Amino acid sequence: MSTLPLYSKLTVADLTLADVEAMAAFVSERVRRALAAQHFESDEWRAALALRSLLNRQVDNTRTVFTPPTCTRELLRARLRQWNSLAGIAETWADCEGYDRDRWNRVHHLDAAEAAQAAQLHLSSL
């Protein structure tokens, strides 16, 4: 697996609460398996328990910003930050079956307009 972060061609405006829920379920299942495979109170079990706690907090934060139906620029920025944090956890399993390589990646842009502007700026710098 590459150690470089995976980035999506999607923007944060393309993502939904359903994407958050699907990625959260995928990672939660892997963490659950890791906990079940370790001896109770071993260092490995404690590490998986800590990961589960951090994951749950990140999932809650991500759900919170993806729940409101109306979306301001400020909320899009919050979604970008929270999504990228959750995607950073999930990408550990990017090479595993069931990982959605088309959607569960970090994003660079808030929406299509921002992505187009960035592309135009990049082209003008060449």
Reference 28, options 65, 71, 67, 62; nearest CA is 62
Categorize the per-residue pLDDT at 98 as very low, low, confident or very high, splitting at 50, 70 and 90: very high
Within-domain flag for 63 = yes
DSSP for residue 109: -
Categorize the per-residue pLDDT at 6 as very low, low, confident or very high, splitting at 50, 70 and 90: low
Mean pLDDT of all residues belonging to the chain: 90
Q: Domain count for the chain, please give it.
A: 1
Within-domain flag for 79 = yes
Within-domain flag for 6 = no
pLDDT at 84 over 80: yes
Q: What is the DSSP string of 66-92?
A: H--SS--HHHHHHHHHHHHHHHHHHGG
Enclosing domain of residue 68: 12-124
pLDDT at 21 over 60: yes
Within-domain flag for 45 = yes
The pTM for the full model equals 0.85
The confidence score (pLDDT) of residue 31 equals 96
